[in-house]
Structure 1
Amino acid sequence: MSQNYTNPYKYWYLPLITGIIFIISGIYIFRTPLASYLTLSMIFAAIFFVTGIMEVVNAFSNRHYPNWGWSLAGGIVDLILGIMLISSPALSATILPLYVGITILFRSIMGIGSSLALKKVGIKSWGTVMIFSILGLLFAILMIVNPVFGGLTIVYYTAISFIMIGVFQIMLAFGLKKLK
């Protein structure tokens, strides 16, 4: 019996193309930080909107579960926030660094707690977790206190991430080509 098998390495050039696109996008983001930031803030707003819709649909489809109302309430809040952010790009641009800063702040506080728990059970690398958590905490406070810094940080991290993903994709493509 013959299987219809396609060689996965046959299309090695697809990661190459996406890698080049990611690198070009990363360079573009570096060269146009304001336009890129505005685009990121609109994507941020759209994510809230779509997430809100999905959470509302999920809540209604799971009405038989206890506390489904909390999911509905969260979905409605996200949906309203998404509508407000989409209708006001300036508000979205203002909130984005605060949102990211607060998220990093809470994650860093959780990291400090986790590092203390690691110390308590005798894990030697607890200090590394503590150092990175404290650095994250300081960075988060800087983002919250100085939203311009936060906005630039978000843009440059995005640009660097795109370039790194692009390099990875290109390396993957050439690795696949060797296996072909």
Structure 2
Amino acid sequence: MNLTTTLAKNWSVLFIRGLIAIILGILTWLAPQASLSIMLLFFAGYFLFDGILRTWVAWNSKQHNPYWRWLLIGGVLSIVAGLVTLLAPNVTTILLLYYVAAWAIAIGAVEIFVALKLRAEISGEWVLIITGLLSVVFGLYLVFNPSAGIHTLLWLVATYAVIFGTLIVGFSLKLKKLSTSQ
């Protein structure tokens, strides 16, 4: 089983992940003045859910997918981000800007790597490359603009989540077509 088959078989996991990102983004747009604690819970929940799904896909494909470790690394990074958000909210509030930036850069790098590996197997991997690049650019923007403030960060996260989620939903639907044709 190759990476394309693994992802096509689990297209619904990517679809759900994308929908959750879109919902998170829309909720953040609609309630920017909401408690930061509540927003941290949303982020922690998304990071944990994302990490669990990524880890599950990696674990289920480890016998047949030589790149399963890269999927696992993305899952572990998201789980760690979720746990830190839940267990140290005061620290997270102070460091949220850098924290989200590091997460976005790391996840983006993993997605770019996975997309480059997919390049030999399918066409349209550019969607995942764009998603990865968007994550890296978003993370670097936050690192180099720390004075943007928490409200600006919330709006940026909302925009990022909606765009990221939309791209992942589109990619998952492409994988669904692949899974039905195999």
Q: Under a length normalisation based on structure 1, what TM-score does the superposition of the two structures give?
A: 0.42
**Structure whose CA Rg is larger:** 1
Q: Under a length normalisation based on structure 2, what TM-score does the superposition of the two structures give?
A: 0.41
